């Protein structure tokens, strides 16, 4: 791997680490706005009680922090792919009508999923299913 490509990989690993660590800590703290979004989202599935929303947000926080450290220490392709998909989903959900945020909140977060996507492309799209675990 060329020196510049290795530096770029590390910049992206650190960027993804920061996004996921920061969001994970917010989730573990039970960020009030996020809890409300979860309650709003849950209404479309028959309603969630606040305790379920708190538990789900806590689980998301743990998962985000795990992703942060895996990507920083040794980026496993399937975890990086998860980071792309999860970041895109959480950015896009802000544009859903029941969340109540403007479309620009989605646009502003393109880097949250763009950085892990760029990292995945740099470390290489796998040629087979086993490659996702490397």
Taking the chain, what is the end-to-end CA distance rounded to the nearest angstrom? 16
Burial call 53-76: b when 16+ CB within 10 Å, e when fewer: beebbeebbeebbebbebbbeebb
Percent of the chain surpassing pLDDT 70: 99
Number of domains in the chain: 1
Each residue of 93-108: pLDDT tens digit? 888 776 778 889 899 9
Overall average pLDDT of the 111-131 stretch: 95
Contacts of 38 (CB under 8 A, 6+ apart): 48, 53, 56, 57
Contacts of 5 (CB under 8 A, 6+ apart): 122
pLDDT at 34 over 70: yes
Domain carrying residue 63: 3-133
Overall average pLDDT of the 21-46 stretch: 88
Overall average pLDDT of the 1-12 stretch: 92
What pLDDT, on a 0 to 100 scale, did the predictor assign at position 86?
97
The rounded distance, in Å, linking the Cα atoms of 28 and 24 is 6
What pLDDT, on a 0 to 100 scale, did the predictor assign at position 97?
73
Question: Of 8-12, 31-35, 98-102, which range is least confident?
Answer: 98-102
> Taking Cα atoms as reference points, which of 88, 53, 82 lies closest to residue 68?
82
The rounded distance, in Å, linking the Cα atoms of 131 and 77 is 8
> Taking Cα atoms as reference points, which of 10, 3, 13 lies closest to residue 67?
13
Each residue of 59-114: pLDDT tens digit? 999 999 999 999 999 999 999 999 999 999 999 988 877 677 888 989 999 999 99
- pTM for the whole structure: 0.90
Distance of CA 15 to the CA centre of its chain: 12
């Amino acid at each position: 791997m060329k020196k510049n490509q290795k530096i770029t990989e590390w910049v992206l690993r650190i960027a993804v680490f920061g996004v996921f660590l920061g969001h994970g800590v917010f989730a573990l703290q039970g960020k009030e706005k996020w809890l409300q979004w979860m309650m709003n989202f849950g209404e479309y599935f028959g309603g969630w009680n606040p305790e379920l929303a708190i538990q789900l947000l806590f689980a998301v926080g743990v998962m985000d922090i795990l992703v942060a450290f895996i990507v920083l220490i040794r980026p496993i392709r399937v975890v990086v792919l998860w980071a792309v998909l999860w970041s895109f989903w959480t950015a896009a959900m802000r544009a859903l009508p029941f969340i109540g945020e403007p479309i620009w909140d989605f646009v502003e977060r393109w880097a949250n999923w763009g950085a892990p996507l760029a990292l995945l492309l740099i470390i290489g799209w796998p040629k087979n299913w086993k490659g996702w675990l490397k």
